[in-house]
Structure 1
Amino acid sequence: MRKTFLLLLGICCNLWLQAQEATAVYLNNKAPMEERIEDALSRMTLEEKIAMIHAQSKFSSPGVPRLGIPEVWMTDGPHGIRPEVLWDEWDQAGWTNDSCIAFPSLTCLASSWDKNMAYLYGKSIGEEARYRNKTVLLGPGVNIYRSPLNGRNFEYMGEDPYLSSQMVVPYVQGVQENGVAACVKHFALNNQETDRHGVNVVVDDRALYEIYLPAFKAAVQEGHAWAIMGAYGLYKHQQCCHNQYLLQDILRNEWKFDGVVVSDWGGVHQTEQAIYNGLDMEFGSWTDGLTMGKTNAYDAYYLADPYYKMIKSGAVGTKELDTKVRNILRLIFRTEMYTERPFGSFGTKAHADTGRKIAEGGIVLLKNDKETLPIDLTKTKNILVVGENAIKMMTVGGGSSSLKAKYEVSPLEGLKNKVGDVATITYARGYIGDASGDYNGVKSGQDLSDDRTPEELLLEAIKEAKKADMVIFVGGLNKSDHQDSEGADRLTMDLPYGQDKIVTELLKVNKNLVFINISGNAVTMPWADEVPAIVQGWYLGTETGNALAAILTGEVNPSGKLCFTFPKKLADNSAHTIGEFGKEGEVRYTESIFVGYRHHDNADIAPLFAFGHGLSYTSFEYGKVIASNKEMNFDGNITITTTVTNTGDRAGAEVVQMYITDVKSSLVRPEKELKGFEKIFLEPGETKTVKFVITKDALSYFDDAKHAWIAEPGKFKVLIGSSSLEIEGSEKFELIN
């Protein structure tokens, strides 16, 4: 009887406690966020707090089941939702319902110069992440394109800080509308893969603030990103994942970031710095982030037992721990515990269509002599397609962005789908690059093995080229090691697998050749003057072939513009002639602010293709550049207007670019800097007016000595053009006190 009474009493007490818990402030979605955070924090034990700040599996961290606080689940991006992996390993979990839509690479998105497309990209990939019940999308990446040899450039948004800033904000906003946090990465200075865990970057404050930080700042202050991922390397000899200067002084204190700082996997190296220098959540590459296969692996993390023991011994307090947990709770309340969080959608036709639209908007027509493109199907009846990249799946490989795509249309398939009923399409391999199709257990299902010699493959291509009306060479790079891939930089800027020789030999027998460069990086093109048409094709995801075919046939008028400069040779790139790249131990950015087109302008080096360059199947005429006034006060602004007319016979889009020149300044400044752009769509004969508003911020530089942004009185010039080299008009004005 007594036992029964005690059991009933216990049940009643438990129900009473649950009822009390149900009235807790932290469970009230309508209560102020900070009140909810403090209420939840006050109810947590030390052990529960420690558990929250480090991983419990490869991609998750624990919540507090006792309080109904859910786990946090991460997923790799930024081009699609990674397939599920086993709890402690990179191997695939073997699910049959985790095949995603693969979106174009971020170099493609940035080359669309279309902020509406950036928002659609973020919204769509956010819907996919939400459907898969992810809390955080590990992307987008906004590290600056400093060298064409960086293996991870394809995941980023190009060389210009203003372009990256403008494109990352709508991407972040689109993702987070779904109740999924965008985790902007890799903060900061992650510009090479060589010695990526150990290299210390030496860069002056001016370059840091003017070139390498603006996109992160925009993501935080304008996009209101809920998470930031630290980088692997070191800055000021501190790991970026627990770096006082980056995470505390800049991110928290200067930018007032209130989100979560997540380590890159295995990016934490020391407990005390991780406690004090701004890191909130530690994740690892192996089961414990330190060594492979250790028992009780996650307890061995730097922010696990080592931290717990320091607190218990009195060596450190709990102030920093509480700050970390507050940030994590804020993340959870914004995502998992947000009652109006939408349900998302996954692998849909709508997402595939969005991916195709982004791909079509980002493909860049680099060259088009004699109107080689679009393909004239009244004259072109026999088309030869050459190149392994015409058939190789590119959604698999490249590192953490490797995807298990629902489907992928190859360039050859896309062309056959588009013109196969009116033209004969023949294929010749041309070269054998990488026949594999397996990365971390994600298998393409392709068998590209071929035992023919390079000579046999070349002879076959030449034979077929002689009979063709047009040759379309689909080449470039792939996502293998030392190409476009995480973990290893490129060894050369040249095309691999003897492609230059193949192109040269094909030109001898057929001058009507189109080269499609599939890559996320610039490559050398020694035959560029001889090839009549060149297309930058990027990695375009699920709808690759259909997007390329739409451009080649003129169904879609190309409108992409390069988000980075194509130098003619590697020595023309400032990281390789002024600064350092690819060294182990320490790398010096002695080129400072002169990155990309800024360097080409300053050194008067002609690029192969300029930043912002891209052709159309129609033509545009720019009108006069008009400034609203000739003088501008520090607290005022100037409106710049110009007109653009479509003078061709096709509808098309033009990216109007505004650059600013400081005519005379006390510090050396670039010849010009991008400070505005607008993508406009015009019917044949249509004219539109484009407006830009210039404020003091667009005229400022960062003064190292004063550690401040300075707008210096004096004369300025605004340049309006279709690329950094093709300037169509200008106007002068003066900034006055």
Structure 2
Amino acid sequence: MRKTFFTVTLFAALLVAAQEKPIYLNQSNTIEERVEDALSRMTLEEKVAIIHAQSKFSSPGVPKLGIPDVWMTDGPHGIRPEVLWDEWDQAKWTNDSCVAYPALTCLAATWNPELSYLYGKSIGEEARFRKKTVLLGPGVNIYRTPLNGRNFEYMGEDPLLASKMVVPYIQGVQSNGVAACVKHFALNNHEINRHNTNVIVDDRALYEIYLPAFKAAVQEGKAWAIMGAYNLYKNQHACHNQYLLNDILKKEWNFDGVVVSDWGGVHNTEEAIDNGLDMEFGSWTNGLTNGASNAYNYYYLANPYLEKLKNNETSIEILDEKVRRVLRLIFRTEMNTSRPWGSMLTDEHYQAARKIGEEGIVLLKNDGNILPIDIRKAKKIAVIGENAIKMMTVGGGSSSLKVQREVSPLDGIKSRVNDSIEVVYARGYVGDASGEYNGVITGQDLTDNRSKEELIAEAVSLASEADYVIFIGGLNKSAGQDCEDADRISLNLPYDQDELIKRLSAANKNLIVVNISGNAIAMPWVDNVPAIIQDWYLGSEAGNSLAGVLFGDVNPSGKLPFTFLKELEDYSSHKLGEYSGTRVDSIIDIEYKESIFVGYRWSDKNKKDRVLFPFGHGLSYTTFEYSRPTVNKTKIHSNDSINISVRIKNTGKLEGKEVVQLYISDKKSYLPRPVKELKGFEKVSLKPGEEKEVSFSVKKDDLCFFDDKLHEWVAEPGKFEAVIAASATDIKGRVGFELIK
């Protein structure tokens, strides 16, 4: 009898427990139902805890509810090595090496959204395997000045190109159940004084130039996280900015993800509460300095926030909305039972890195068809330059990586030619002999105490005896070049490379200059060099990607994502706008006086003769012929569309890819407009003799400009022109049409 009573009692208890099972554990419920259920079970202290960090790269979950911690990792080019819980020092794991993918300037230079998805999917797999919740990337800040030390992490000067490339990256990352955190929102366009620059920019430029890629990331890419920027806008820091975060991001764009602060980007509890920030990381609070131990409970959204809540000085509804967003993030990622397991250091990842690098390399100049190098005619190749051997995955700031391997350009060239050609090497110049960043050590000893003249003399001597000379130089990821928290000092190449190139060009007419950088450079030697390649930071497979293009295994198809102008003063940001290269402690105003006229929009209008290499430029080893573009109708209504078509044919002897670019020109407007603006592009692959038709659909939205007085997008009826081009200056055809009411 007792046994029966016990059995019935136990069954009843289990039945009650089953009926009270929290719905946040039930995968059949919607995420929103699960969020509300979890929120209702959290204490005030748990709610506050979940919105700020508990370590350098994590924030706590809710242990009693089985809700896990959130783990962040830097990107956007590879998964950052692990650091200690409460210190920036390396954790010294032996299993946290990664594949380094090409920098985002290279990805943008592919003009290939399919490769962007491959990039995101691949890096997302590595993040998932390393048990990360959020990948801190990609970056889509606009290329305003070529001095910005962080341009290599972004996607160029044009908002449409950045928009089209960022969306598939996000989708690829998030297909792994890892959140992409798009950064840095917004107007973070240089590094010097990044914490204390108050950007002054008109709403036209804000909406037409600096916001579109973020908007696409939110509305098309469905990004689950956005990172605020360091700088100020309208005298509020961007990490807690009413206008950027609440008015635009959350209200205008209906963003339902989390706003994450950049590390050290929060400055005020009241603004952090009210102005749209959801998760706080890396703060230096309460008089504590950078790196102070266990300061997390002193964060602006920690104890100070908790005290305000307990004293009824702020609304619980605001806190609940922050917590909802964090919970939504966790249910989309850590508590998504269908997320894949991920993978790390696979052959497929290396192949992806190599392919992206190959397709992003830009052939800028090829007089006399010196490229590709014909190994049947070459007996000796001289490779000159520090960047031929220097590891480029270490350094540059938060994107610095610890890689399993990195193939140098010199090793890539040697591997490609095997023993069929003698390859000799000379340093030529000494730039940065160091090989360490934040505790990651390359193991290279690049110390060289020879004088500049000795180095040049050796290089020139080898060059004079070679059939081909490949100079591999440019910038590196040291402070003052392409590096976070610093900007470049000059548009010219550092370490006296310009002089070295001039000497090499005099010694050998078959000189190929390979520029490794994430920025445009001045080229005072451009007329004396027959072949120039823009080679980015290409990651683990850098040398193999470059060798493939040099020797014709790959037909180059990259196109520039930003304009190369002759001198720094030719850029609108330096001619018309404001820029400060001097560090100061106080808040300074920087006005973007050039407004919408950034990049080719400026050079089209004012500086055509000062263009070194235009936006969208890139040569091939084959040739392409464009037909005259056609339009299916000459008038477009506001709710209609038209199709612009052009046929393109490969008229050369090699298979190749070409990027067909569509620009739109407004012939008359009541507000100033650029001569033309990129509104579409398509990359097509063609075999010799093959011909394809490329068609673009043009809608009313493609014809709009932002009227800052009306605060709305306007498509003004009138005449327009569709411009088909191979670059911003290589126009292949035009066709007119009219927008009518």
2:250 corresponds in structure 1 to 252
Letter in 1 for 2:387: N
Deviates more, 1:18-27 or 1:716-725: 18-27
Of residues 593, 603, 608, the one that matches 2:606 is 603
1:81 and 2:85 correspond = no
Aligned to 1:229: 227
Change (3 A) 1:479 1:38: same
Distance (Å, rounded) in 2 between the aligned partners of 1:289 and 1:403: 31
Alignment: residue pair count: 727
**Structure 1 residue 28 and structure 2 residue 31: aligned?**
no
For residues 39-118 of structure 1, the aligned pairs below 5 Å read 39-118=37-116
AA at the equivalent of 1:586? D
* Partner of residue 130 from structure 2, selected from 129, 132, 144: 132
**Structure 1 CA distance for aligned equivalents of residues 15 and 236 of structure 2:** 46
Cα separation, 2, equivalents of 1:503 and 1:522? 17
Match of 1:325 among 323, 326, 335: 323
- Offset from partner CA, 1:128-175 (integer Å, 9 cap, x none): 000000000000000000000000000000000000000000000000
Name the structure 2 match of 1:703: 707
- Taking the aligned partners of 1:416 and 1:90, their CA distance within structure 2 comes to 38
| 8 Å CA contact retained: 2:622, 2:650 | yes
2:678 counterpart residue number: 674
Instruction: Trace 1:386-397 onto structure 2 (pairs within 5 A).
Output: 386-397=384-395
2:475 equivalent to 1:477: yes
Please state how far the C-alpha of 1:420 moved relative to its aligned partner.
3.0
2:593 to 566, 590, 593: 590
Of residues 713, 729, 732 in structure 2, which corresponds to 1:728? 732
Alpha-carbon distance in 2 for matches of 1:23, 1:232: 43
C-alpha distance in 2 between matches for 1:245 and 1:31: 34
Local SS of the residue matching 2:643: strand
Label 1:427 to 1:277 Cα distance change in 2 as closer, same or farther (>3 A).
Answer: same
Q: Specify the SS of the correspondent of 1:676.
A: strand
TM-aligned CA distance change 1:292 to 1:701, over 3 Å: closer
**Distance in 2 separating the partners of 1:570 and 1:440:** 32
Partner of 2:540: 542
CA–CA separation in structure 2 for the residues paired with 1:450 and 1:68: 56
Pair 1:418-2:421 in alignment: no
2:120 matched residue in structure 1: 122
Note the alpha carbon deviations across 1:533-557, whole angstroms, 9 max, x for none.
0000000000000000000000000
The corresponding residue for 2:663 is 659
Cα distance in 2, alignment partners of residues 180 and 411 from structure 1 = 33
Superimposed CA distance per residue, residues 235-291 of structure 1 (whole angstroms, 9 cap, x where no aligned partner): 000000000000000000000000000000010000000001110000006699942
What SS does the aligned partner of 2:181 have?
Answer: strand
Q: Residue 292 and residue 677 in structure 1: after superposition, are their counterparts in 2 closer, same or farther (change >3 A)?
A: closer
| Partners of 1:88 and 1:286 within 8 A in 2 | no
Measured in 1, the distance between the counterparts of 2:98 and 2:287 equals 28
Displacement of 1:462 after TM fit?
Answer: 1.0
User: In structure 2, what is the equivalent of residue 384 of structure 1?
Assistant: 382
How far did 1:204 drift?
A: 0.1
- 2: CA distance between counterparts of 1:516 and 1:65? 54
1:27 CA displacement: 1.0
1:430 aligns with 2:428: yes
Question: For 1:414 and 1:35, how far apart are their aligned partners in 2?
Answer: 54
Residue by residue over 1:470-510, the C-alpha shift from the partner in whole angstroms, topping out at 9 and shown as x without a partner, is 10000000000010000001011110000011011111111
Asked whether the equivalents of residues 283 and 299 of structure 2 are also in contact (C-alpha less than 8 Å), the reply is: no
Q: Distance in 2 between matches of 1:732 and 1:49?
A: 58
The whole-number CA distance in structure 2 between the counterparts of 1:614 and 1:289 is 51
Which segments of 5 or more consecutive residues in structure 1 lack a partner in the other structure?
Answer: 1-7
Looking at structure 1, the residues matched to 288 and 15 of structure 2 have their Cα atoms a distance apart, in angstroms, of 41
The aligned residue for residue 557 of structure 2 is 559
Shift of 1:378: 1.8
In 1, Cα distance between equivalents of 2:465 and 2:397:
40
Measured in 1, the distance between the counterparts of 2:612 and 2:20 equals 65
CA distance in 2 between counterparts of 1:290 and 1:469 reads 61
Q: Residue in 1 aligned with 2:3?
A: none
> Of 327, 331, 352, which aligns to 1:354?
352
2:212 paired residue number: 214
What do the CA deviations read for 1:19-46 (whole angstroms, capped 9, x no partner)?
Answer: 4697211111220111111100000000
1:448 aligns with 446
Aligned-residue RMSD, C-alpha: 1.6
- CA distance in 2 between counterparts of 1:100 and 1:545 reads 17
8 Å contact 2:381–2:468 — kept in the other structure?
yes
Partner of 1:633: 637
1:341 aligns with 2:345: no
Shift in Å, 1:294: 4.3
CA deviations over 1:316-363 (Å, ceiling 9, x no partner): 121111000000000000000001010000111110100000000000
SS of equivalent to 1:434: coil
Distance 2:567 2:288 in 1: 40
- The separation in 2 between residues aligned to 1:450 and 1:256, in whole angstroms, is 56
1:456 is paired with a residue whose SS is: helix
Tell me which amino acid in the other structure corresponds to 1:136: V
Counterpart residue type for residue 669 of structure 1: R
Query: Mean Cα displacement is larger for which, 726-735 or 314-323?
Result: 314-323
Shift of 1:295: 5.5
Q: 1:325 to 1:299 in 2, by over 3 A?
A: same
Distance 1:182 1:581 in 2: 30
Task: Report the equivalent of 2:628.
Answer: 624
Q: What's the secondary structure of 2:528's corresponding residue? A: coil
Matches of 1:132 and 1:145, distance apart in 2? 32
| Structure 1 residue 605, shift from structure 2 partner | 2.9
- Alpha-carbon distance between aligned partners in 1 of 2:423 and 2:45, rounded to the nearest angstrom: 65
Cα 1:167–1:678 change in 2 (3 A) is same
1:170-197 per-position Cα deviation (integer Å, ceiling 9, x unaligned): 0000000000000000000000101111
1:334/1:223 Cα in 2 relative to 1: closer, same or farther (>3 Å)? same
Q: Following TM superposition, by how much is the alpha carbon of 1:292 offset from its aligned partner in structure 2, in angstroms?
A: 4.0
CA distance in 1, matches of 2:20, 2:495: 65
Within 2, Cα distance between the matches of 1:461 and 1:636?
62
CA distance in 2, matches of 1:698, 1:604: 25
- Please give the per-residue CA displacement for 1:651-700, whole angstroms capped at 9, x wherever unaligned: 00000000000000111000000000000000000000001000011100
Q: How does 1:146-185 map to 2 (within 5 A)?
A: 146-185=144-183
Map of 1:407 onto structure 2: 405
Distance 1:293 1:641, change over 3 A: closer
CA–CA separation in structure 1 for the residues paired with 2:435 and 2:724: 45
> TM-score if structure 1 supplies the norm length?
0.97
TM-score under structure 2 normalisation? Answer: 0.96
Mapped to 1, the partners of 2:293 and 2:729 lie a distance apart of: 59
Check whether the contact 1:192–1:582 (CA below 8 A) recurs between aligned residues: no
Alpha carbons 1:176, 1:182 under 8 Å: kept = yes
Give the Cα–Cα distance (whole angstroms) in 2 for the partners of residues 320 and 118 of structure 1: 36
Deviates more, 1:504-513 or 1:148-157: 504-513
SS of the residue 1:529 aligns to: helix
Q: Percent identity?
A: 65
Counterpart in the other structure of 1:3: none
Query: 1:297: how far off?
Result: 1.1
Partners in 1 of 2:293 and 2:652 — Cα distance? 69
Could you tell me how far 1:223 is from its partner in structure 2? 0.3
**8 Å CA contact 1:288, 1:294 repeated in 2:** no
- Partners of 2:138 and 2:290 lie apart in 1 by 28
C-alpha deviation, 1:16, in angstroms: 6.7
